[in-house]
Structures are given as structure tokens and as C-alpha cells.
């Protein structure tokens, strides 16, 4: 035997080996850490195989390092660290028993360092985990020694026991790491779900709340003790049936589901929530309950409704505008009168219409100020501001009335430029309006122009003024052809909307 059971009788040696192996098994069973396993293994090796021994394991870089030893100097461990006949992962290698290091093919400097440590015979016993090398243990003798079958057998048995323990520690470490990773993952998910910008929930098979994140608890005004909260009571009665049916179908078909419905929030307001949910099932197929995400789409729905309303309104306005344009074109070019003068008149009327549209667009087609409508009527046709006088209180006109009055003022201005006060240098126009209970009165008066003569028939301008005022303003037009200047008074219902200064 190598300085261990050397000289003892075979039976005595066998009894000692069995005792050592039994104590090793017992010690390894109680071991919970790597140092405990190494100490138990080293104790058995020394007891059975010799006074000097070591255990080495591959490190993270695949280098064999001393991790436990008896009777070895620090210089020896430093010099021989990394020396190994095997590489990490080698499968099921055989032990190596060296009777005399001087008879091996090892490099001379290696043999010299081993001999300097007073080592002649030594054994390399691989430590395996899942059939692959993870390290080795070694036993040493100061004298040449031929290892017999009993020594080899007990060495392999000790190595196998240490290997089993290393595998168990590795599995336990992996399990602890997995548990810790799961715990950290669950904590990350909990934090992410808790602070998510959407409403996240889980329920049990009966629909009771298992989890509500912060945003959803705030939505419903509930605290951490939400287990008894009856969330179903917050559903709008008209939506509850469809939502319940969709959830039941999703559980039956094992499919995700998406539904929309109205829910009462903590402020007592119904909000529209879009819910995406997925049923949960146990490994045996039992239904466990609906994890889901709610998103408040109330504002989106309002915006969609507003957009549809605006599109419908725009469609209505475009149709009305096209009808006006069609009427203007029909009246302007009636009887095939596509003369340059008629074309210019048509373009002028379209320009007046376009100008009014631009003015209304700036106020989102809600209303337009009367003074700005009047200002545009003169500016578009290049009338000198010194020749017109505009006065009246601030008045807001709805879109329809603003368009009608823009066309009417355009026709009056055009007529004044052609035949009336604005056709001569001395002529002026006074445009004034006033509000009376329930009505608006607009007065157009010309002065300083050529003598006025009543026309023998109404032109398109007169017909257009009467038409738009009657249909769009629900008002009346009174025209007086005074020799001193044309006077036109427009009277229309007025709800009392005064414009802000």
C-alpha cells in the first residue's frame, strides 16, 4: 500500500477500506458545500491510499487547479497547476498509475519538480460529472510503487463517490440558480406589470381578481386588498352580456379574445376599455382563469366620432358649395353668354366664395366675424379703403350665413365698381350694421356716384343676393334705387352672438 495500509494483512486492509468508504459515503451525504465534499474526499484518500494527496478541479478557463491537498508545498502546487493528462469534457477516461516518475516520458523539468517534492510514485484518478472529466484526485508515494488491483479499485470507488457528490452539488446549484432566476424574473415582471402604462389583471376560474396593477387599481379606485372587489358591477349593463359571452367562448375554445366595453371608473364616468385576454390552463387541462390587458380608448373613440362628424359636415359643405358654384355658373353663363365679361364675373364670384372659405377655415368652420367679411369683400376687389366706411358692433356669423353674406357683399361691391359709387373717383360706400332684439340689420348705402336709375329687369347679382339671403340667412332684402345712390338693407334673424374684440 502507498504509505497508507502498507504492511497490513489483506483482510485487515479490506475492513479498513470498507470502513473508510462507509464514512466517506456518510460524510458526503451530509455535505452541503464544495469545501465539505472536498474535505470528506481528501480524508478518505489519505486514510486508504497514503498520507499525501490532492484534489484538483478545472476552473472557468479550463485550467486544472489545486482545490484541496495534504502534504504538498505551495511551490509544488504553483509549479504543477494546470498539469493534467485530460482536458475539460473528456469522456470516461481511465485512471493513470505511475510506479516511478523517472521512467515516464514527462518533460525533465516536470519530473525534476516532482522528485524535488520527494514524490516518486503517483496516481491520477479522474473525477467525473455526467460521464465527463471535471477534475482529478492524486495520491503520492516517496518510494517506487506498483499499484495493485485492490488499490486501483478503491481509488476508482472514492473518485466515483466524489463525482456523484460534485454532480449533486452542481444540480443543486443549478436548481438554486434557476429558482433565483425565476424569483428575479417574477419580480421583474411584477415591477413591470405594476408600473406598466396599461391596465393589467389576472383572475381565477370564477372571475375573482387575483391581480390588478397600479393603473387598474387607480382606474377603479381600489387598494391592495382588491380580492373582494366586484369588478363585474362596473360594466355597462348594455355591454355586460356580450363581454361575458366572448370570455366564455375564449375559455371554451382555448383562444385569446379581444372585446370592447364601457366600464364605470372611480369618478363615476363610463370609459371605453379595449380588453385583450388569454385563458390560463393547468397542465392537466383545467381552466385556471383570464390574464388580460385593458387600454382606455375613450378619447380615441371620441376622436373617431368627431372625425366622422367632421367628414359628414365637410361632405355637406362641399355639396352645398358645389351647388352654389353650379348656380353661379348657370346664372352667369345662361343663354350661352360665355363672354369675357361673364367669365370675369364668374371668377370674381368664385374668388369671393374662396375668400370666405379661407376666413372660416381659420376658425375651424365654426364662425366668422362680420367686420372681417366686409373687409375682405372690398380688399379682394382692390377698393381704396379711404372710399369705404364700415361700422357696427362685433358680430359672429355661423359658417352658412358667413358664406351667404360674403357672396351678397361681393355682388354689391361689383355693382358699385361697374355702375355705382365706386365707378367714379368721388363716390363712396357706407356699410353699417346694428343688432336689434332677435335680428341683425345690415345697411349698404352709396353716395357720390352717377345718378341711379332702376333697372328694367333684375340681373343675376340681384337674384343671387335675394336667393342667398332668403335661403341661407332666412332673411329679407330691400333695395332702393335712390337717384343719389343705391341703398340695400339686409335683415336676418340674429341669436345674439357678439364677437370678442
Residues 413 and 360 in one domain: yes
pLDDT in tens, 12-53: 777 777 887 788 888 888 888 888 888 988 888 888 887 899
Residues 43 and 103 in one domain: yes
Pure H helices in 50-133: 74-80, 108-116
Q: Are 356 and 406 a contacting pair, CB within 8 Å?
A: yes
Containing structural domain, residue 372: 347-493
In a domain, 185, yes or no: no
Number of alpha carbons in the 13 Å side-chain half-sphere of residue 237: 0
Residues 163 and 243 in one domain: no
pLDDT in tens, 401-419: 887 788 888 888 888 888 8
Q: Which of 174, 189, 224 is the last residue of a domain?
A: 174
Residues 266 and 405 in one domain: no
Residues 169 and 201 in one domain: no
In a domain, 3, yes or no: no
The average confidence (pLDDT) of the chain is 82
Residues 222 and 149 in one domain: no
**304 CB contacts (<8 Å, ≥6 apart)?**
none
Q: What percentage of the chain has pLDDT greater than the value 90? A: 24
Per-residue pLDDT band at 453 (split at 50, 70, 90): confident
Q: How many domains does the chain have?
A: 3
pLDDT in tens, 252-263: 999 999 999 999
Residues 153 and 208 in one domain: no
**Which residue shows C-alpha cell 348594455?**
238
Residues 204 and 247 in one domain: yes
Higher pLDDT, 341 or 159: 159
What confidence score (pLDDT) does residue 413 get?
87
CATH code for the domain of 98: 3.30.450.40
Residues 394 and 484 in one domain: yes
In a domain, 331, yes or no: no
Residues 386 and 252 in one domain: no
- Chain centroid to Cα 113, Å, comes to 66
Residues 289 and 355 in one domain: no
CATH code for the domain of 288: 3.30.450.20
CATH code for the domain of 420: 3.30.565.10
Query: Over 261-319, what HEC string results?
Result: EEEECCCCCEEEEEEEEEEEECCCCCEEEEEEEEEECHHHHHHHHHHHHHHHHHHHHHH
What confidence score (pLDDT) does residue 139 get?
93
Q: What is the mean pLDDT of residues 225-231?
A: 82
Q: Are 226 and 217 a contacting pair, CB within 8 Å?
A: yes
Residues 408 and 473 in one domain: yes
pLDDT in tens, 153-192: 888 888 898 888 888 888 888 888 888 887 887 777 777 7
In a domain, 186, yes or no: no
Amino acid at each position: 500500500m502507498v504509505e497508507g495500509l502498507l504492511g497490513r494483512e489483506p483482510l485487515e486492509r479490506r475492513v479498513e477500506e470498507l470502513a473508510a468508504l462507509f464514512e466517506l459515503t456518510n460524510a458526503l451525504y451530509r455535505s452541503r458545500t464544495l469545501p465539505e465534499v472536498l474535505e470528506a474526499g481528501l480524508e478518505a484518500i489519505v486514510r486508504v491510499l497514503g498520507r499525501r494527496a490532492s484534489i484538483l478541479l478545472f476552473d472557468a478557463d479550463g485550467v486544472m487547479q489545486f482545490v484541496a491537498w495534504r502534504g504538498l508545498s505551495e511551490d509544488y502546487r504553483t509549479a504543477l497547476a494546470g498539469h493534467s493528462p485530460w482536458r475539460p469534457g473528456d469522456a470516461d477516461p481511465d485512471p493513470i498509475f505511475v510506479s516511478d516518475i523517472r521512467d515516464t516520458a514527462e518533460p525533465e523539468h516536470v519530473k525534476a519538480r516532482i522528485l524535488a517534492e520527494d514524490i516518486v510514485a503517483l496516481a491520477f484518478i479522474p473525477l467525473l460529472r455526467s460521464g465527463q472529466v471535471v477534475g482529478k484526485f492524486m495520491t503520492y508515494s516517496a518510494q517506487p510503487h506498483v499499484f495493485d488491483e485492490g488499490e486501483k479499485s478503491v481509488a476508482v470507488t472514492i473518485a466515483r463517490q466524489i463525482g456523484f457528490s460534485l454532480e449533486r452539488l452542481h444540480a443543486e446549484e443549478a436548481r438554486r440558480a434557476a429558482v433565483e432566476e425565476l424569483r428575479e424574473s417574477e419580480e421583474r415582471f411584477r415591477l413591470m406589470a405594476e408600473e406598466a402604462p396599461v391596465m393589467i389583471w389576472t383572475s381565477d376560474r370564477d372571475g375573482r381578481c387575483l391581480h390588478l396593477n397600479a393603473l387598474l387599481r387607480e382606474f377603479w379606485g381600489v387598494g391592495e386588498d382588491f380580492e373582494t372587489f366586484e369588478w363585474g358591477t362596473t360594466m355597462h349593463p348594455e355591454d355586460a352580456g356580450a363581454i361575458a359571452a366572448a370570455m366564455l367562448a375564449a375559455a371554451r375554445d382555448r383562444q385569446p379574445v379581444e372585446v370592447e366595453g364601457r366600464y364605470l371608473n372611480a369618478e363615476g364616468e363610463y370609459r371605453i376599455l379595449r380588453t385583450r385576454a388569454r385563458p390560463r390552463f393547468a397542465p392537466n387541462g383545467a381552466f385556471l382563469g383570464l390574464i388580460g390587458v385593458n387600454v382606455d380608448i375613450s378619447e380615441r373613440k371620441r376622436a373617431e366620432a368627431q372625425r366622422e362628424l367632421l367628414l359628414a359636415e365637410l361632405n355637406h359643405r362641399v355639396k352645398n358649395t358645389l351647388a352654389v358654384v353650379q348656380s353661379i355658373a348657370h346664372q352667369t353663363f345662361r343663354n350661352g353668354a360665355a363672354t369675357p365679361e361673364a367669365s370675369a364675373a364668374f371668377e370674381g364670384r368664385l374668388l369671393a366664395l374662396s375668400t370666405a372659405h379661407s376666413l372660416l377655415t381659420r376658425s375651424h368652420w365654426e364662425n366668422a366675424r362680420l367686420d372681417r367679411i366686409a373687409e375682405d369683400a372690398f380688399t379682394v376687389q382692390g377698393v381704396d379703403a379711404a372710399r369705404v366706411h364700415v361700422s357696427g358692433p362685433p358680430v359672429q356669423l355661423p359658417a352658412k350665413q358667413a358664406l351667404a353674406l360674403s357672396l351678397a357683399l361681393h355682388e354689391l361691391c361689383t355693382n358699385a365698381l361697374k355702375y355705382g359709387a365706386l365707378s367714379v373717383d368721388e363716390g363712396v360706400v357706407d356699410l353699417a350694421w346694428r343688432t336689434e332684439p332677435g335680428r341683425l340689420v345690415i345697411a349698404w348705402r352709396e353716395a357720390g356716384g352717377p345718378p341711379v336709375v332702376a333697372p328694367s329687369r333684375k340681373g343675376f347679382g340681384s337674384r343671387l343676393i335675394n336667393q342667398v339671403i332668403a335661403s341661407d340667412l332666412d332673411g329679407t332684402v330691400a333695395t332702393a334705387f335712390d337717384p343719389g345712390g343705391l341703398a340695400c338693407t339686409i335683415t336676418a334673424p340674429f341669436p345674439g352672438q357678439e364677437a370678442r374684440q
